[in-house]
Amino acid sequence: MILIKDRDDYFMQFSEKILNTPSSFIRNILKVTDAPDVISFAGGLPNPISFPTDALQKSINAAIEENGTKIFQYSTTDGYLSLRQYIADKYKKNYGYDVQPEDILITTGSQQALELIGKVLLNKGDGAIMEEPGYLGAIQAFTLAEPTFYSVTLENDGLNIEELEKALQNPNVKFIYTVPNFQNPTGLTYSKEKREQIYEVVKKYDVALIEDDPYGELRFEGEPLPYIGAGRLENSILLGSFSKTVTPGMRLGFLITKNKEIMQHIVTAKQATDLHTNIFSQYVIYDYLANNEYQEHVNKIITLYREQSNAMLDAIAKYFPSNIKYTKPEGGMFIWVTLPEGSSALQLFHKAMEEKVAFVPGDPFYTSKTNVNTFRLNYTNATPEVIEEGIKRLGKILHDEFE
């Protein structure tokens, strides 16, 4: 107990886990890049024109009329049964994955699922295998549990298998975290062959495989691919979200696992965290899903993002010097750019801000590297014309720097 003698020498002692957890780099830089005259490719937000506002307004009224006071009351930790049934039916239909409502937990966005997984699986120092580069929100959520991160290079077709096998030799490893479809930050998708190889490797180990899939439905090129472990690995945890397809503000995501023990502990952790996910949002989204043509709505988002992605890829091909490498996403929201070896994306960021164009330098997507030569571009929040102008400005700086 700290005695407060007088206000001048009053201080708080914060936990090591919070002191060691980075605050969200993106949220911090968004404060700078959000100025109205900046063309920002920095955020990772869905385009607001994709929100089904009118239909949601009807669903809000219908959900209140149909459910009365229940919609404003405390509710169960697992989540609204009809919504979980809807999700179970969808996974059965789309993936042939035999999911029951009891295998599903509705979470406060998939971000909460990440934090709960960290709480339930990681003791201080335990191993978490991460994609490099990887989703910074996952790095942040897991860091709170003070793990040892083992990074495995994310190649164009998925995790590097030799590195994965080597990382799995560490006896403290508890899980592998993957984003197999249109990954954040790279936009990359694991190939079918790589998925199979990863499955063959992982099934030999007593570790959980997390497949975080908030973007999977937003495919604008190529064929949908099967999950790596969902439906066939005993310790599979699949995460989904309504953030990118309906609205992120309602904070609705879900965790699917057929492993009863994992589920039971995650439910306990969720009780301790927030008792249950916002039940008002759950009733509203269920009404929306049950009474609208969801797939038609998603198809509209796909068409929009395809057009924006193409606009950015065309502009990059036109304006960037040829020694700059970049990914070509088949869906989702991001393109990942690699500068020549030894250069700093952070330095480029400052120059780009002088020209009023923004992106996210790669640093926060790595667990142990800094001053990296990579950066993330988001294309979902600007018109094709604005995308072209922003990439043209960036291209000019790149020509000056790297040619």
Ligand X SMILES: Cc1ncc(COP(=O)(O)O)c(C=O)c1O
What residue ranges bind ligand X (CB under 6 A)? 44, 109-111, 135, 137, 179, 184, 212, 214, 241, 243, 248, 253
Name the minimum Å distance from CB 9 to ligand X. 40
DSSP 219: B
107 or 235: whose CB is closer to ligand X?
Answer: 107
Which structure tokens are listed for 329?
Answer: 């996403």
Q: Which tokens in the block code for residue 181?
A: 């479809």
Q: Which residue number, 302 or 398, has a Cβ lying nearer to ligand X?
A: 302
Q: Which is nearer to ligand X, 179 or 382 (CB)?
A: 179
Q: Which is nearer to ligand X, 141 or 279 (CB)?
A: 141
Q: In the bound complex, what is the minimum distance in angstroms from residue 136's beta carbon to ligand X?
A: 9
Residue 129, amino acid: I
Alpha-helix residue ranges (DSSP H) falling in 153-241: 161-168, 192-202
Closest contact distance (angstroms) between CB of 161 and ligand X is 22
Cα(333)–Cα(47) distance, rounded to whole angstroms?
A: 10
Which C-beta is closer to ligand X: that of 289 or that of 315? 289
- Compute the least distance from the CB of residue 180 to ligand X, in Å: 10
Residue 335 · residue 326 · CB < 8 Å: yes
Would you state the structure tokens that stand for residue 193, as one six-digit string? Answer: 């062959």
CB of 134: closest distance to ligand X in angstroms?
9
Residue whose C-alpha is closest to residue 159's, from 126, 186, 122: 186
Q: Which residue's CB is nearer to ligand X, number 248 or number 331?
A: 248
CB of 127 to ligand X, least distance (A): 20
DSSP class of 209: E
CA distance 259 to 261: 6
Give dist(CA 66, CA 133) in Å, integer: 46
Least Å from the CB of residue 108 to ligand X: 7
User: Of 213 and 287, which has the nearer Cβ to ligand X?
Assistant: 213
From CA 188, how far away is CA 337, in angstroms rounded? 12
- Cis ω before 185 (30° cut-off from 0): yes
**CB-nearer residue toward ligand X: 123 or 153:** 153
Nearest to 309 by CA among 222, 216, 384: 384
Of residues 133 and 395, the one with the C-beta less far from ligand X: 133
Q: How far is the CB of 215 from ligand X (least distance, A)?
A: 7
Residue in 218, 176, 224, 237 with CA at minimum distance from that of residue 201: 176
Q: How far apart are alpha carbons 331 and 333 in whole angstroms?
A: 7
Q: Positive or negative, the Cα torsion across 78, 21, 179, 128? A: negative
Residue with nearest beta carbon to ligand X = 109
Q: Which of 244, 229, 277 is CA-nearest to residue 84? A: 277
Q: Which is nearer to ligand X, 104 or 179 (CB)?
A: 179
CB of 133 to ligand X, least distance (A): 12
Q: How far is the CB of 219 from ligand X (least distance, A)?
A: 15
Sign of the C-alpha dihedral computed for residues 153, 116, 236 and 185 taken in this order: negative
Q: What does residue 326 show for φ and ψ, rounded to 5 degrees?
A: -155, 155
The span from the CA of 218 to the CA of 216, in Å, is 5
